[in-house]
Structure 1
């Protein structure tokens, strides 16, 4: 593995600011030469948005497609107790977090334990096993099935080696993207911790941190339900490296409507494909050296692009499916890559029904043949394999060619990149009673009379790093909305050379307009990631309900985030 050069803070006094621009640029200039020489030699490039970065990269070793089976993710089971048992107040040995304000009204019913530790993972059978940093030592991390009305506590124990080896940082902060969660459990980038160090959002180090998820609808409105969520590390300045090392997993949420049971007798239940036929698919990319070990470059501020395509941590796997309906929950968990995905049979794009965007059910299914996924965006789709003959082979493909972390090329690939092979040969164990109703989940109304102000945020590049409104992230609140109000935030990309998937923590928003016109149908539901293309402007309606505290908005090209494209906002009580 490449050696990462850079200092690690070993402590942070209460109220101390995060790393500043000078430290960030020092890491960039001081460490980039060593990292780039060991991994990805970088030729000269300019900051002009019309200049493409010329990156000379030795290709990863060849790997056989369809040699490994797709890992099917199974839900983690709750534990019966934790020691010490959580009480909502800070526990013995816990880092210095704020109190769980939603605990008294929503004490946890289900307890989970995550150990952040080193694990072994084989990305492909043609490659050697590699070390990952994973939630419970696995990649992807352990999956949680949650339900509204059943509050959850997740204890995150940091058991990573207390030293910097390779990229990333052993100090961690777990963000549940994009659950409606009190600030103390949001996984703010300022709230990183280990047994010896802590970030400016905390008051002391600790062996663990308890995250309390009250599992309540935003504003108490069931129309605000979430479905396909995920969690990942969010450590200030090191999110990209930590996620690349393996710190990501699925968190699926159910309720009376989206119940997770296709045989549910409740007349309100949608009865979407469930169980073995409800399949999360995490898309990502990776780079390997000539010996087959994974590589990473966190100092190229454009972003990081690998040349191997993975689904659920495996390079080009295969998946045996039955001739029936499936629900696939696609997540773009890459560092910088944008996907345009299709499912093809005999080279022809097949139709599917998109039922959710960013984990939010749409009001009605949309018939589509492709969908674009920016970093951190999700898409739930229904695919019916009963239309194909036994033994048919279909392929999930990516139509975007992306040569660097800036954006995909303007022209789609004539020969898309196959990422996953479906083989229709798994016997049916029972009839397919699942369905896709014409109506899914009603959208809550957008009431512009609630809007108290409009804020403008311009995302741009300055001095080789990334800014919001001309400023690098400094840990201080750039906005202070008041709880119980609504605002319109205008997001503008000031460059023609990059795209920015902008993620706003805490509540789902609604796109009012994209470049002055109504958004396309698949973006008219609730969202938490807003893919800003070159020189685009998006107006978003946001509410701030139920909880106060500190949250952030940032670019989810994680290299851009780590190089300062982030702002803090505080919801005032």
Structure 2
């Protein structure tokens, strides 16, 4: 692993580092958790916890700050990690400025479990929720306040990725761009106390649009940010590094009372009737502490309890009206299949967005499956249920290891209870129109090349095209403002949720067959089932620099199932 530090000594090649990484991480666990040593053993059985003991924690919008000191600049400023210059700097910092402090803090997953240490954005899990608008740039200054010499699992160096904003590479959170106050990765030139991420919030295609706006059909709504530190993404995300970033525009305006005739008027008010739901599973030992053992296997780390917005089996009181829920699978390896249950009967809901992309038209569904990093926006109309009704969001998907889903349970596990509590204080004027957001066209005449990416296991190491990830070498070089077809191949009996940074793709086929309706829109996570071949159409617009393609089973990613691809002018 290429890394810049003051310490000298023998250097391992990357394959040796990966093979030995699990052992070194486990050694750190001894220091982090005295009395609870991590041995190569079966996962522990966690303690029982009573359901519905606390309300759902509802994210609220993060507030801006008036100024930053030192003032942001095109180039790194004093105290900042040595990033590349901002590609889209306009001569002054954006008006919207944020600070997020990545730090250690105490967190309670459940009243019957001990309070324990996490690493979180602003010290919370989930982290803060930034609410942004298209064509309103913002700058986020991330401070790394984790002890740079911290022991235990995870790495005190960080690299924040905003999944999946169309943004410049220096703000994308490349795996090799990690940093702390004393150490930095091969993509940077120095360590730092903080790093500025500039998010222009442009629609894709803005650089070739005479109006400088881009294609409004390229908008996303539900995004999230998480750590992407080389070799330690799984462990840092597992320690709590996940936050939310929601985007709005004229169409999806975030105002159900919007007088603009173009506005969709979907259920609105982040934290009121527009509710993010972040699902993440954790492995608890018999004492009730979160447990991590890299020696169990490298298939995919699964927990024995699922949290919703950081709590185990919370309840949420709802009014008899429509709500928009933004479901995010923030687990490191677990897939889910969610059902809305009223007693033993599954209920229909309205599916409106996949991976943050509004569909052309809503779909009526009674289940939604998510792989790690996938998102789904759904609308539930609680006006159909009388006061006192209790509905449950249930995961019925069976999964015993990181190989992938194995089928459905007849009953499943109740994760969240909805209590139909009161009538709305005013008339519900929100709606779900018959048309949502049109799709941009797929012009195959623009395709300049077809590439193949094979996701496989090679001598117990996860690979892409038979190679392990090298942060300093591009596996592909593409020309800016061109288009290609990428064929993603999953070899063997594994599921791989493949994430492509910076650009949304369109699925052309799965094993030669058109995708199902909910996958016919734009996506940034493409699930490869065992021995499956998926063809996607992808463009490379506006920015140059280094980006990533990887499996979002984070165990696989950290065991080198990742590739760098560069965009050149």
**TM-score normalized by structure 2?**
0.94
**Residues 515/39 of structure 1: CA separation in 2 closer, same or farther (3 Å cut):** farther
Between the aligned partners of 1:568 and 1:242, the Cα distance in structure 2 is: 21
Q: 2:553 matched to which residue of 1?
A: 557
- Equivalenced residue count is 550
What is the Cα deviation at residue 11 of structure 1? Answer: 1.7
- Retained in 1: the 8 A contact 2:153–2:292? yes
What's the secondary structure of 1:59's corresponding residue? Answer: coil
Q: 1:517 matched to which residue of 2?
A: 513
**Residues 313/265 of structure 1: CA separation in 2 closer, same or farther (3 Å cut):** same
- Retained in 1: the 8 A contact 2:274–2:323? yes
C-alpha distance after superposition, 1:369-403 (max 9, x if no partner): 10110000000001000001101000001011111
What is the Cα deviation at residue 19 of structure 1? Answer: 6.7
Between the aligned partners of 2:287 and 2:526, the Cα distance in structure 1 is: 38
Moved more, 82-91 or 524-533: 82-91
Q: Which of 111, 116, 140 is the equivalent residue of 1:154?
A: 140
- Retained in 1: the 8 A contact 2:121–2:128? yes
What is the Cα deviation at residue 531 of structure 1? Answer: 0.6
Q: 2:566 matched to which residue of 1?
A: 570
What is the Cα deviation at residue 239 of structure 1? Answer: 0.3
**Residues 206/273 of structure 1: CA separation in 2 closer, same or farther (3 Å cut):** same
What's the secondary structure of 2:512's corresponding residue? Answer: coil
Between the aligned partners of 1:354 and 1:40, the Cα distance in structure 2 is: 42
Q: Does 1:313 align with 2:310?
A: yes
Q: Does 1:185 align with 2:185?
A: no
- Retained in 2: the 8 A contact 1:238–1:562? yes
Structure 2, unpaired ranges of 5+? 206-213
C-alpha distance after superposition, 1:410-435 (max 9, x if no partner): x3101111100000003412110000
Q: Which of 257, 265, 290 is the equivalent residue of 1:294?
A: 290
Q: Does 1:412 align with 2:414?
A: no
Q: 2:89 matched to which residue of 1?
A: 103
**Residues 400/42 of structure 1: CA separation in 2 closer, same or farther (3 Å cut):** farther
C-alpha distance after superposition, 1:209-254 (max 9, x if no partner): 0000011000110000010000000000000000011100110000
- Retained in 1: the 8 A contact 2:26–2:153? no
Between the aligned partners of 1:58 and 1:416, the Cα distance in structure 2 is: 21
What's the secondary structure of 1:240's corresponding residue? Answer: helix
Q: Does 1:66 align with 2:48?
A: no
Q: 1:50 matched to which residue of 2?
A: none
Q: Which of 408, 420, 425 is the equivalent residue of 1:424?
A: 420
- Retained in 1: the 8 A contact 2:40–2:293? no
Q: Does 1:500 align with 2:457?
A: no
Between the aligned partners of 2:136 and 2:13, the Cα distance in structure 1 is: 38
Between the aligned partners of 2:57 and 2:524, the Cα distance in structure 1 is: 27
**Residues 143/402 of structure 1: CA separation in 2 closer, same or farther (3 Å cut):** same
What is the Cα deviation at residue 287 of structure 1? Answer: 1.2
Q: Which of 159, 166, 169 is the equivalent residue of 1:173?
A: 159
Q: Does 1:123 align with 2:123?
A: no
Between the aligned partners of 1:346 and 1:144, the Cα distance in structure 2 is: 36
RMSD: 1.9
What's the secondary structure of 1:209's corresponding residue? Answer: strand
- Retained in 2: the 8 A contact 1:18–1:236? no
Between the aligned partners of 1:371 and 1:12, the Cα distance in structure 2 is: 49
Q: 1:268 matched to which residue of 2?
A: 262
Q: Does 1:23 align with 2:17?
A: yes
- Retained in 2: the 8 A contact 1:354–1:368? yes
Between the aligned partners of 2:305 and 2:12, the Cα distance in structure 1 is: 34
Q: Which structure 2 residues correspond to residues 49-60 of structure 1 after superposition, within 5 A?
A: 56-60=42-46
What's the secondary structure of 1:550's corresponding residue? Answer: strand
- Retained in 1: the 8 A contact 2:488–2:535? yes
What is the Cα deviation at residue 516 of structure 1? Answer: 0.6
Q: Which of 343, 362, 367 is the equivalent residue of 1:370?
A: 367
Q: 1:47 matched to which residue of 2?
A: none
What is the Cα deviation at residue 147 of structure 1? Answer: 0.3
- Retained in 2: the 8 A contact 1:143–1:251? yes
Between the aligned partners of 1:34 and 1:167, the Cα distance in structure 2 is: 6
Between the aligned partners of 2:481 and 2:196, the Cα distance in structure 1 is: 27
What's the secondary structure of 1:295's corresponding residue? Answer: coil
Q: Which of 247, 251, 255 is the equivalent residue of 2:245?
A: 251
What is the Cα deviation at residue 30 of structure 1? Answer: 5.4
**Residues 12/388 of structure 1: CA separation in 2 closer, same or farther (3 Å cut):** farther
Q: Does 1:93 align with 2:79?
A: yes
**Residues 186/11 of structure 1: CA separation in 2 closer, same or farther (3 Å cut):** same
Q: 2:65 matched to which residue of 1?
A: 79
Between the aligned partners of 1:18 and 1:225, the Cα distance in structure 2 is: 43
